[in-house]
Amino acid sequence: MNIDWSLLKTFLTVVQAGTVAQAGAQLACSQPTVSRQLKELETQTGLTLFDRRGYRLVLTDAGASILEFAQNMADQADHLALAIAGKETVVNGTIRISTSEVIAYHFLPPVLVTLQEQYPEIDVEIIVENSVANLSAREADIAIRLFRPDKLGLVRTKIGTLEMGVFASKSYLELYGVPRTLDDLVYHNLLGYDQSAEILDGFRKHLPDANPSLFSVRCDNHLVYWNMIRAGNGIGFCSTLMASQDKMLTRVLPDLKPDGNDVWLATHEALQKTPRVRAVWELLSSQLTKRLWE
């Protein structure tokens, strides 16, 4: 029996995505193409791989039985791609950098200017996401994260810390007054995250009974959150470095110092010594470290 590996890749993507539509988006192909490839795989294997339940596909026992083999093949393909990439000898090609909204918006653009000047033969792709890119699967070559990446096979280094503080716009403080104590904050419009518990957990260190209703507006998009502070929606929590460079913002309760975010660079160990990745890694480490300590 000859099974087309590309069909197994489609099968694996559908399992991980949960729907044909989402799998098509990840594979950059149409829903009919994905459905046709699944049908072809079922024909080649003689197995019914999914139960169709509306828009969702649920693995059958037969589908589950080949899932492990498909995943193993994908892992081996990733290892092969990493091994081949590790043999590169020239400083050119495309580098994919995965980073968070905060780093991408506030810190990365001027660093990329230096990168373009020093390495014009390198094309850069920026993936902006707060989730963790799979470096083993080459979803990115280098990741910049606000937490320590712990997956096996990664090389990582801490390049700085984003200290945090409590800030409000001048227009908000003129309208509502300046809080003088921690207890005063509960009488103000506070801005928090929605699904992320980071800010709420920080509050609970000082106010054990704090709950999500403490925040008048909640949003997990860091750029929207940042602009809500600037617009005067309420008092929020952000990087002291970012806020100190914005004339619209004023720090309140300076003695209240939320936990900061360590900034980490990470890449797969198989890529670390390739000229292209090494060059960009060293530039990012140098330039971002300098900016984080300004």
Domains 93-162+261-292 and 164-251 equal at CATH topology level: yes
At residue 231, the pLDDT reads 96
Neighbours of 18 (CB within 10 A): 13
**What is the spatial distance between Cα 54 and Cα 63, in angstroms, rounded to a whole number?**
18
More confident residue, 196 or 97: 97
Count helices and strands in the chain by DSSP H and E runs: 11, 12
**What is the spatial distance between Cα 55 and Cα 22, in angstroms, rounded to a whole number?**
10
CA distances, 134 to each of 59, 80, 163, 236, 266 (Å): 24, 15, 27, 31, 11
**What is the spatial distance between Cα 130 and Cα 98, in angstroms, rounded to a whole number?**
9
At residue 281, the pLDDT reads 92
pLDDT over 70 at 84, yes or no: no
Neighbours of 10 (CB within 10 A): 25
Residue with tokens 């989730």: 131
pLDDT over 80 at 239, yes or no: yes
**What is the spatial distance between Cα 214 and Cα 191, in angstroms, rounded to a whole number?**
9
Residue 154 φ/ψ, nearest 5 degrees: -100, 145
pLDDT over 60 at 182, yes or no: yes
Q: Which two tokens stand for residue 287?
A: 């330039």
- Which class in CATH covers the domain with range 93-162+261-292? alpha beta
- The residues spanned by each domain of the chain are 5-85, 93-162+261-292, 164-251
pLDDT in tens, 56-75: 777 888 778 788 777 777 66
pLDDT over 90 at 77, yes or no: no
Quote the mean pLDDT of the chain.
Answer: 84
At residue 132, the pLDDT reads 62
**What is the spatial distance between Cα 153 and Cα 155, in angstroms, rounded to a whole number?**
7
Residue 288 φ/ψ, nearest 5 degrees: -70, -40
DSSP 214: G
Give the Cα-Cα-Cα angle 286, 292, 294 (nearest 5 degrees): 100
pLDDT in tens, 18-43: 788 888 887 788 888 888 888 888 88
pLDDT over 80 at 283, yes or no: yes
Mean pLDDT of 95-111: 92
- Which class in CATH covers the domain with range 5-85? mainly alpha
At residue 257, the pLDDT reads 81
Architecture category of domain 164-251 in CATH:
3-Layer(aba) Sandwich (3.40)
Contact 63, 50 (CB under 8 A): yes
At residue 166, the pLDDT reads 93
Q: How confident is the model at residue 1 (pLDDT cuts 50, 70, 90)?
A: low
Contact 274, 86 (CB under 8 A): yes
